[in-house]
């Protein structure tokens, strides 16, 4: 399972101990929102998304994936 992008929100996967370069973030934004964007119109957040074993047991960190959330404001 992964979170679903929509017209105003982009989820970029970040590996458990990884990172994304600014150029990777910007390229993801251009691919999703188009090339005519103003970065002042966006904010960036973080999401720990419960992707595996959703209805099973208590909190297990390996059941979650990390995403940057790019939202158009």
Give the whole-angstrom CA distance, residue 70 versus residue 59. 26
- What is residue 5's DSSP assignment? P
Q: Which of 8-12, 13-17, 23-27, 30-34 has the lowest mean pLDDT?
A: 13-17
Residue range 32-49: mean pLDDT, rounded: 94
> Domain ranges in the chain?
9-72
CB 11 within 8 A of CB 25: no
Give the whole-angstrom CA distance, residue 48 versus residue 2. 11
From residue 60, how far is each of 41, 48, 54, 68, 69 by CA, in Å? 35, 12, 10, 20, 22
Can you give the pTM of this predicted structure?
0.84
């Amino acid at each position: 399972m992964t979170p679903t992008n929509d017209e105003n929100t982009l989820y970029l996967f970040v590996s458990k101990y990884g990172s994304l370069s600014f150029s990777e973030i910007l390229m993801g934004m251009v691919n999703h929102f188009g090339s005519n964007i103003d970065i002042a119109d966006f904010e960036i957040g973080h999401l720990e998304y419960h992707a595996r074993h959703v209805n099973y047991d208590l909190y297990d960190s390996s059941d979650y994936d990390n995403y940057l959330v790019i939202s158009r404001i």
